[in-house]
Homo-oligomer: A and B are copies of this chain.
């Protein structure tokens, strides 16, 4: 059965029936709007959109995979503020001949990823469109903490990362060359494993700035550097290339550092911490904040590969 055959209201009923309840949801789908807790009188909110052919391919990813990825991209933005995600809202634009099961499995993936952080899928919208498009908004709770912005990095701060880095970009390259293994890398592209606890931990530890690595580590550190009016130097020897990534890179003739420094889809986190802070669990130092205005690798500009993508200019694996 297609989404057109199920009908808008039929499809909404089929999808919402599959969504689990979540603790912060005061009113879920089915009315004009949802109501979600915002315990400290503030709500954190972010929107990310995924377009077929640009952010995902149906022959590479199942509907559940796309749901996981769409949720992860948005939940990571909330976590990068030092907040705990509470809710997702989802707008699905789909060709009328899309299988209704695809929409249902997308909802399953969204809900399953949201459950990892205790968030619910609380609302959404559906429309026909020639282009399969998924727009997700995530909400979050700062639990009384100040948000960790991009503007607070100071010279002398430690630069650290949390979570997998380069895996998804490697998986994207593997898929784009027509391969389906190594499974570790391909699966990392299909369903990122996001270190959701890293953001609130960094906030509690006193992180001076933080960002979700979605454009690529160097590009995103560039966002922090510009916002904070500082330079950032990354040490190449801080990155250990995992064995499977090294082997895949060798087989494909790629420098694996281009995946680790330029890839985004893992939704790792990058942050800066005051010197002498003990980094919280899951965080690893990779460099330092400097005077100046540039992002460098071992003190030099990085010219070995792309540092990130522009969504209007280049096709890429970004979400």
Question: Do residues A11 and B139 form an inter-chain contact, with CB atoms below 8 A?
Answer: no
Question: Do residues A55 and B127 form an inter-chain contact, with CB atoms below 8 A?
Answer: yes
Known: A4-B313, A51-B129, A227-B30. A41 touches B37 (CB 8 A): yes
With a cutoff of 8 Å between Cβ atoms, the chain B residues found around residue A210 in the complex are: 32
The residue in chain B whose Cβ has the minimal distance to the Cβ of A36 is: B43
Question: Do residues B311 and A127 form an inter-chain contact, with CB atoms below 8 A?
Answer: yes
Question: Do residues B312 and A137 form an inter-chain contact, with CB atoms below 8 A?
Answer: no
* A-B CB contact pairs (8 Å), 25 listed: A3-B312, A8-B313, A26-B42, A30-B227, A31-B81, A32-B46, A32-B210, A34-B46, A35-B43, A38-B41, A40-B41, A45-B122, A46-B89, A47-B89, A48-B91, A49-B127, A51-B128, A54-B127, A54-B129, A55-B127, A125-B135, A126-B312, A131-B133, A133-B133, A137-B137
Question: Do residues B81 and A32 form an inter-chain contact, with CB atoms below 8 A?
Answer: yes
Residues of A1-41 at the interface with B, using a CB-CB cut-off of 8 Å, are 3-4, 6-9, 11, 26-27, 30-41
Q: Interface digits, A169-183 against B, CB 8 Å rule (1 contact, 0 not)?
A: 000000000000000
Select A125's contact among B48, B90, B123, beta carbons within 8 Å: B48
Q: Interface digits, A89-118 against B, CB 8 Å rule (1 contact, 0 not)?
A: 111010010000000000000000000000
Question: Do residues A135 and B3 form an inter-chain contact, with CB atoms below 8 A?
Answer: no
A310 in contact (CB, < 8 A): yes
Residues of A163-213 at the interface with B, using a CB-CB cut-off of 8 Å, are 210-212
Tell me how far the C-beta of A227 lies from the nearest C-beta in chain B, rounded to whole angstroms. 7
Most chain B CB atoms below 10 A, which of A27, A44, A124, A149: A44
Q: What CA separation (Å) do A8 and B312 show in the bound complex?
A: 6
Tell me how far the C-beta of A268 lies from the nearest C-beta in chain B, rounded to whole angstroms. 13
Residues of A223-254 at the interface with B, using a CB-CB cut-off of 8 Å, are 227
A80 in contact (CB, < 8 A): yes
Question: Do residues B142 and A91 form an inter-chain contact, with CB atoms below 8 A?
Answer: no
A68 in contact (CB, < 8 A): no
Select A43's contact among B30, B128, B139, beta carbons within 8 Å: B139
The residue in chain B whose Cβ has the minimal distance to the Cβ of A92 is: B49
Select A47's contact among B46, B78, B125, B312, beta carbons within 8 Å: B125
Question: Do residues B46 and A35 form an inter-chain contact, with CB atoms below 8 A?
Answer: no
